[in-house]
Amino acid sequence: MESSSNPTVVLHACLGVGHLIPMVELAKLLRRHGLAVVVAVPTPPASTADFFASSADAVARIVAFNPSISFHHLPPPDYPDPDPDAFLQMLDAVRLTVPSLLAFLRSLPSVAALVLDLFCVDALDAAAATGVPAYFYYTSPAGDLAAFLHLPHYFATTHGNFKDMGKKPLLFPGVPPIPASDMPHTVLDRADRTCAARVGHYGRIPEARGILINNYEWLEERTVRALREGACVPDRPTPPVYCIGPLMVKGEEAAEGERHACLSWLDAQPARSVVFLCFGSLGAVSSKQLKEIARGLESSGHRFLWVVRSPPEDPAKFVLPRPEPDLCTLLPEGFMERTRDRGMVVKSWAPQVEVLRHAATGAFVTHCGWNSVLEAASAGLPMLCWPQYAEQRLNKVLVVEEMHLGVVMNGYDEELVRAEEVEKKVRLVMDSEEGVKLRERLAVAKEMAAEALADGGSSSMQFAEFLKDLKSSKRSSVEDDH
């Protein structure tokens, strides 16, 4: 039960469904442990409102779904001359919000801690100015964090650019070799401003008092050990790492109003027979690629449930809201009729968590967004990894090479993934001996996820450790001088 006399834990989220959803789940967990919680959400500057429109809609939906959580909307900062680079625009928007976050912290009678999304590194300044202990909540795999924390050292001690290295394996502590071309585009070119901004941020993460990770230790044991041993940041101490997940939206909460038609359709399919395809909150492929996928699914002979979005007109503007897809023109002629008995196409959005947990779902073609990976692992579903944007190529390496929970859709880094590859990988996962082994591994991953969250499980214990640290942390004297 939450006590109103408790100091407040302020969670500073970033715009974006994949960031806000896990932050809200953390807020719920903190509340269940009796803490007062507020989620502070930035509002995009007026000059970037069009660009962030789909995020703002998603934020409004998430707020509406969670009436038990207090949200504080930080006012939009002035940003008259937005950076032409979309990613830097987003980082600027967060940085320019720091003064209003600071004012908000000072307006509260007592703040126990500030928990930051990893894109909100500049908010460390607000924590320092108020003497409030700051923690990060990392909503991607520990493997990403291990690689990113190592980058400042890596760049300081090496030459060359990832973008010129092709698939050359990069060797970072605690993770499998990562092909240079699978590093996020923001760090491919060290001369680039985005790279400087990111590496500057990674270098500041050790300033935090602790790092919470939305994973469970079984998934990334070796990586978490490397982080804790300080192997990833050679030149200064790494803050304590707490693996507290998987924190995910529960199916029932994700459903709004009536049950989605795709769930009724799944009810009528045999157990573990359906391949589900969905590319996160933003992912969409070209119309040529949609037709290739359709051909591959058709020739695989398997049942499928496919979330189709309108192709982005400009790949650089993939976050802009898109119209409903016109299936008649996007999919091959006759495809819908020919596959009517074994396939369903859903426009734009499906209740993913419920689909993944449905008994009829047998495999998941995923863009490897971390929430999707956790949702699939917890449901015991093998993944066919098709990374699209952000850090998803890196996640793909970890899912396949470190966690052994999926296979790669080859061609993800070329113009097209061919229909033959879609068919081959669907058959591999659904029909082959390798698929059976993968399924066995996933059954363990599912069991371990449940075990981690149960009383006495690794995530419960590490969350308790974090609470102990939070309660013992004293506000420094900085605020007294204010």
**In terms of CB distance, is 152 or 280 closer to ligand UDP?**
280
**In terms of CB distance, is 71 or 119 closer to ligand UDP?**
119
CB of residue 292 to ligand UDP, shortest distance in Å: 20
When binding is defined by CB under 6 A, the residue of 11, 15, 21, 199 that contacts ligand UDP is 21
Burial class for 287, CB neighbours closer than 10 Å (0-12, 13-18, 19+): middle
> Between residue 120 and residue 159, which ones bind ligand UDP under the rule CB under 6 A?
none
> Contact between 383 and ligand UDP (CB under 6 A)?
no
> Contact between 281 and ligand UDP (CB under 6 A)?
yes
> Contact between 280 and ligand UDP (CB under 6 A)?
yes
d(CA 89, CA 84): 7
DSSP letter at 260? P
When binding is defined by CB under 6 A, the residue of 278, 285, 384, 394 that contacts ligand UDP is 278
> Contact between 100 and ligand UDP (CB under 6 A)?
no
> Contact between 61 and ligand UDP (CB under 6 A)?
no
The single-letter code of the amino acid at 141 is: P
According to DSSP, the residues that pair with 82 across neighbouring strands are none
Burial class for 149, CB neighbours closer than 10 Å (0-12, 13-18, 19+): buried
**In terms of CB distance, is 111 or 187 closer to ligand UDP?**
187
How many C-alpha atoms does 347 have within 13 Å on its Cβ side?
A: 9
> Contact between 375 and ligand UDP (CB under 6 A)?
yes
d(CA 290, CA 415): 12
**In terms of CB distance, is 6 or 348 closer to ligand UDP?**
348
Length of the chain: 482
**In terms of CB distance, is 98 or 409 closer to ligand UDP?**
409
**In terms of CB distance, is 11 or 112 closer to ligand UDP?**
11
When binding is defined by CB under 6 A, the residue of 11, 18, 409, 423 that contacts ligand UDP is 18
> Contact between 17 and ligand UDP (CB under 6 A)?
yes
- What is the DSSP code string of 325-350? P-HHHHSPTTHHHHTTTTEEEEES--
> Contact between 353 and ligand UDP (CB under 6 A)?
yes
d(CA 208, CA 304): 44
Binding footprint of ligand UDP, residue count (CB under 6 A): 19
When binding is defined by CB under 6 A, the residue of 352, 361, 378, 462 that contacts ligand UDP is 352
Query: Counting runs of H as helices and runs of E as strands, what totals does the chain give?
Result: 19, 15
**In terms of CB distance, is 248 or 417 closer to ligand UDP?**
248
Q: Are strands 70-73 and 111-117 parallel, antiparallel or unpaired?
A: unpaired
According to DSSP, the residues that pair with 210 across neighbouring strands are 135
**In terms of CB distance, is 100 or 139 closer to ligand UDP?**
139
CB of residue 353 to ligand UDP, shortest distance in Å: 5
Hey, what are 342's tokens? 């074994």
In degrees and rounded to multiples of 5, residue 115 shows phi and psi of -110, 125
d(CA 147, CA 184): 11
Longest dimension (CA), the chain: 73
CB of residue 92 to ligand UDP, shortest distance in Å: 20
Which residue, chain included where needed, has tokens 């795999």? 141
CB of residue 361 to ligand UDP, shortest distance in Å: 13
When binding is defined by CB under 6 A, the residue of 135, 137, 138, 370 that contacts ligand UDP is 370
- Give which of 357, 172, 149 is closest to 246, Cα–Cα: 357
SS3 41: strand
**In terms of CB distance, is 76 or 369 closer to ligand UDP?**
369
CB of residue 318 to ligand UDP, shortest distance in Å: 10
Query: Segment near ligand UDP (CB under 6 A), from 17-25, 86-94, 110-118, 126-134?
Result: 17-25
CB of residue 281 to ligand UDP, shortest distance in Å: 3
> Contact between 245 and ligand UDP (CB under 6 A)?
no
> Contact between 350 and ligand UDP (CB under 6 A)?
yes
In degrees and rounded to multiples of 5, residue 308 shows phi and psi of -110, 130
- Give which of 133, 68, 16 is closest to 479, Cα–Cα: 133
Residues that bind ligand UDP (CB under 6 A): 17-18, 21, 254, 278, 280-282, 307, 349-353, 369-372, 375
